A and B are shown apart, each in its own frame.
Chain A
Amino acid sequence: NAGVTQTPKFQVLKTGQSMTLQCAQDMNHEYMSWYRQDPGMGLRLIHYSVGAGITDQGEVPNGYNVSRSTTEDFPLRLLSAAPSQTSVYFCASSYSVAGPSEGFFGPGTRLTVL
Chain B
Amino acid sequence: RKEVEQDPGPFNVPEGATVAFNCTYSNSASQSFFWYRQDCRKEPKLLMSVYSSGNEDGRFTAQLNRASQYISLLIRDSKLSDSATYLCAVTDRTGGFKTIFGAGTRLFVKA
Residues of A within 8 A of B (CB): 31, 33, 35, 40-45, 48, 50, 56, 58-59, 90, 97, 100-108
Query: Which B residues have a C-beta under 8 Å from some C-beta of A?
Result: 4, 8, 32, 34, 36, 42-46, 49, 87, 89, 91, 93, 96-104
Interchain CB contact under 8 A, A45 and B99:
yes
List residues of chain B with CB within 8 A of the CB of A40: 8, 103
Q: How many pairs, one residue from A and one from B, have CB atoms within 8 Å of each other in the complex?
A: 57
Tell me whether A56 and B96 are in contact (CB under 8 A). Answer: yes
Select from chain A the residue with minimum beta-carbon distance to B89. Answer: A102
A50: chain B residues at CB < 8 Å are 97
State whether B99 touches A33 (Cβ < 8 A). yes
Can you name the residue of chain A whose Cβ is closest to the Cβ of B4? A42
**8 CB < 8 A contacts A-B:** A40-B103, A43-B87, A50-B97, A59-B100, A101-B91, A102-B34, A104-B46, A105-B45
Q: How far is the CB of A108 from chain B (nearest CB, A)?
A: 6
Residue pair B43, A102 in contact (C-beta under 8 Å):
no
In the complex, what residue of chain A is closest to B49 when comparing beta carbons?
A100
